[in-house]
């Protein structure tokens, strides 16, 4: 049985599903090609992803390929209830609703595992960690985000990974586009919806210059913001410097910024000390996976007033007001709808092919974190170009010889 907020929202969810599907051709073409052979017949998929309109396109497609799909949300707050209702109306088991408590969120994941899935698809690692504790027999899993992969690599190092996991996040057709352009656009959208203030001329501090950070910094720059980057990796810091951004430690940036966006996947990026040194009116938000980057606990223990949906005003002991977007949780998924469908078509094509790869190869694979095979990555890029009728050059025989004859 599903557990969702409101089944009557199914029609609204269907319209959203159709809108997304029309803009996810790379994925839908792949699904159409595979549909006849029903490669996922008799397979149960346990899925923990953000329940959005784009995810509904993936899940409906997987069901069409023969799978029994059981899903829960990848974050306690981000489930879109109309999409959950639509998926439920189409026979997918859904255990997800918006604004869950942590125990509710954990319960949903445990319910997914009770269906004894053969393959798991996770976003952040919470479902896989629970499957490890329950010692379930799983063929393998796929992982959507950087933080999940960091967690499994740590388990694998200690010899504690119980099944193979494909690092979908690290495919070039995922990370380069989803983490960079997807988060870049949806972060601007989330911050604009939360605060509706001007970016132009604002000093915007971006913590982390990895895939997310550079995507966010580029888009903020495009909006006319003066961007400052903080980093711990000398190469990334040098790249940010060469890309024209000011680079400095957070202790210095905290005193200068108007808007702060954390993009690191690391904890304690903006601490109480940083917050107390900020200018009156500073706006803070996070787009890293977990809500550990900004000291939201400190901020939310001050005199707090919700001034707009997803924006809390926190009055500090020094009388300065500091504003927190979506309580320090993934702002681009809570204050906005997350990545656009064209981007998710690339990420979810990687999910689809990686699920099929596990099904075919799991007996040969070790309990390790594996990359998405290069052929899959290249094929998805080619499919994306084809779908937009973009042609590229091919190496001639002479050119290939030139490279291989040294
Ligand atoms: N919100 C979304 O839609 C979304 C999408 C994809 C990934 N993510 C999550 O975002 C986070 C970052 O992902 P990514 O792919 O950019 O990872 P990444 O590894 O490419 O980048 C993280 C960067 O943060 C830097 N960093 C680490 N500690 C720091 C510190 N103390 N101060 C400043 N910089 C620091 C690292 O050096 C690195 O350059 C992860 O948690 C990931 O799971 C979120």
pLDDT digits (tens, 9 = 90+) for 279-291: 999 999 999 999 9
Cα 246 to Cα 283: distance, rounded to the nearest angstrom: 19
Cα 311 to averaged position of ligand 1 atoms, centre (Å): 23
**CB–CB of 177/340 below 8 Å?**
no
Give the Cβ contact number of residue 22 at 10 Å. Answer: 11
In Å, the largest CA–CA distance within the chain is 72
Whose Cα sits closest to atom 39 in ligand 1?
Answer: 210
The Å distance, Cα 180 to ligand 1 centre, comes to 11
Q: Does 7-174+339-387 match 183-334 in CATH topology?
A: yes
Q: Nearest C-alpha to atom 33 of ligand 1 is from which residue?
A: 231
Rounded Cα gap, residues 99 and 75, in angstroms: 9
What is the average per-residue pLDDT within 2-19?
98
pLDDT in tens, 31-89: 999 999 999 999 999 999 999 999 999 999 999 999 999 999 999 998 999 999 999 99
- The 10s digit of each residue's pLDDT in 305-344 is 999 999 999 999 999 999 999 999 999 999 999 999 999 9
Task: Return left, alpha or beta for 91; rule: phi > 0 is left, psi -120 to 50 is alpha, else beta.
Answer: left
Cβ-Cβ contacts under 8 Å for 328 (sequence gap 6 or more): 284, 285, 286, 291, 293, 294, 296, 299
Q: In CATH, what is the architecture of 7-174+339-387? A: 3-Layer(aba) Sandwich (3.40)
Q: Categorize the per-residue pLDDT at 238 as very low, low, confident or very high, splitting at 50, 70 and 90.
A: very high
Top-level CATH class of 183-334?
alpha beta
Cα distance between residue 326 and residue 388, in whole Å: 36
Residue nearest to atom 17 of ligand 1 (CA): 210
Report the share of the chain in percent with pLDDT over 90.
98
Radius of gyration of the chain (CA): 22
Q: Please tell me whether residue 131 adopts helix, strand or coil conformation.
A: helix
Query: What average pLDDT does this structure show over 298-304?
Result: 98
pLDDT score at 406: 83
Specify the residue with its C-alpha closest to ligand 1, atom 20.
210
Whether 114 shows a pLDDT value over 90: the answer reads yes
Which pLDDT score is estimated for 81?
98
**Both tokens of residue 157?**
């190092």
CA–centroid distance, 147 to ligand 1, in Å, is: 8
Compute the average pLDDT of residues 393-404: 94
The pLDDT confidence band at residue 101, using thresholds 50, 70 and 90, is very high
Which atom of ligand 1 has the smallest separation from the CA of 330? Answer: 1
Mean of per-residue pLDDT scores for the chain: 97
Query: How far from each other are the two terminal CA atoms of the chain, in whole angstroms?
Result: 63
- Determine the average pLDDT of the residues in 365-391: 96
Is residue 116 scored above 90 in pLDDT?
yes
Alpha carbon of 91 to ligand 1 centroid (Å): 36
Atom of ligand 1 nearest to the CA of 331: 1
Domain ranges of the chain: 7-174+339-387, 183-334
Nearest to 229 by CA among 210, 216, 212, 246: 246
d(CA 258, ligand 1 centre) in Å: 21
State the distance from the centre of ligand 1 to the C-alpha of 212, rounded, in angstroms: 6
Alpha helices in 134-225 (DSSP H): 146-157, 172-174, 183-195, 211-222
Annotate 241-265 with three-state secondary structure: HHCCCEECCHHHHCCCCCEEEECCC
- Between the CA of 4 and the centroid of ligand 1 the distance, in Å, is 31
Identify the three-state secondary structure at position 52: coil
Q: Pocket around ligand 1: residues whose beta carbon is below 6 Å from it?
A: 145-147, 179, 183, 207-213, 230-233, 236, 263-266, 269, 287-289, 330, 332-333
What average pLDDT does range 142-158 have in this prediction? 97
């Amino acid at each position: 049985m599903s557990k969702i907020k409101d089944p009557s929202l199914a029609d609204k969810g269907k319209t959203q599903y159709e809108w997304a599907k029309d803009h996810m051709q790379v994925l839908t073409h792949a699904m159409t090609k595979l549909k006849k052979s029903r490669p996922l017949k008799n397979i149960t998929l346990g899925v923990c992803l953000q329940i959005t309109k784009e995810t509904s396109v993936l899940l409906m497609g997987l069901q069409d390929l023969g799978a029994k799909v059981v899903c829960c949300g990848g974050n306690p707050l981000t489930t879109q209830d109309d999409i959950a209702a639509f998926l439920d109306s189409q026979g997918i088991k859904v255990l997800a609703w918006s604004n869950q408590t942590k125990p509710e969120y954990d319960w949903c994941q445990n319910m997914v595992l009770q269906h004894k899935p053969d393959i798991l698809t996770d976003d952040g690692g919470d479902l896989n960690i629970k499957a490890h504790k329950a010692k379930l027999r799983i063929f393998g899993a796929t992982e959507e985000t950087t933080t999940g992969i960091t967690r499994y690599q740590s388990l694998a190092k200690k010899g504690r990974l119980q099944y193979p996991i494909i690092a979908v996040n690290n495919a070039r057709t995922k990370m380069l586009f989803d983490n960079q352009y997807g988060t870049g656009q949806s972060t601007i959208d989330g911050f604009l919806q939360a605060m509706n203030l001007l970016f132009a001329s604002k000093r915007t501090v971006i913590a982390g210059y990895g895939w997310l950070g550079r995507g966010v910094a580029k888009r903020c720059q495009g909006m006319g913001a003066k961007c400052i980057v903080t980093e711990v990796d000398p190469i990334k810091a040098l790249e940010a410097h060469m890309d024209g951004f000011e680079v400095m430690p957070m202790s210095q940036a905290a005193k200068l910024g108007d808007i702060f966006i954390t993009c690191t996947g690391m904890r304690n990026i903006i601490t109480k000390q940083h917050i107390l040194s900020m200018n009156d009116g500073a706006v803070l938000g996070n787009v890293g996976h977990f809500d550990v980057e900004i000291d939201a606990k400190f901020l939310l223990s001050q005199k707090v007033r919700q001034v707009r949906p997803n924006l809390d005003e926190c009055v500090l002991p020094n009388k300065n007001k500091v504003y927190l977007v979506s309580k320090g949780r993934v702002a681009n998924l809570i204050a906005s709808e997350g990545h656009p469908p064209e981007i998710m078509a690339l990420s979810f094509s990687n999910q689809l092919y990686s699920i099929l790869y596990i099904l075919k190869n799991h007996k040969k694979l070790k309990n390790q974190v594996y990359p998405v095979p290069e052929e899959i990555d290249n094929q998805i890029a080619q499919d994306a170009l084809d779908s937009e009728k973009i042609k590229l050059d091919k190496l001639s025989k002479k050119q290939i010889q030139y490279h291989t004859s040294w």
